[in-house]
Amino acid sequence: MNYAEYVIPAYIVVFGSVAAFTAVLVARGRRLGRGVPDEDKPWT
């Protein structure tokens, strides 16, 4: 593959950033969710 030095970093940046954002989101959601019973959450 030519231009691999640009193509591969582009994919790493995109999927790495989305994965990191998702991991923080899930961890924070779980931490906040512990303080609220499921019955009180409008989406459950």
Partner 1 sequence: MVKAVETGGTHNDNATGTRATRVIGVLALVGVPLVLLLGLVTSPEDVEMGDSVRIMYVHVPSAWLAYLAFGVTAVCSALYLWPRTRSLTLDRFAGASAEIGVLFTGLALATGMLWGRPTWGVFWTWDARLTSTALLFLLFLGYLAIRRLPALPEQRAKRAAIAGLIAFIDVPIVHLSVEWWRSLHQDATVARRDLDAQLDGAMLFTLFLSLTVFTLIYVWLLLHRQRQLWLEDHAGALSLDQAIAARHAEASPAVPPPAEVLQP
Residues of this chain that bind partner 1 (CB under 8 A): 1-4, 6-7, 9-11, 13-15, 17-18, 21-22, 25-26, 28-30, 32-44
CB of 4 to partner 1, least distance (A): 7
5 DSSP 8-state letter: H
Phi-psi region of 15 (alpha: psi -120 to 50; beta: other; left: phi over 0): alpha
Residue 37, φ and ψ in degrees, nearest 5: -65, 150
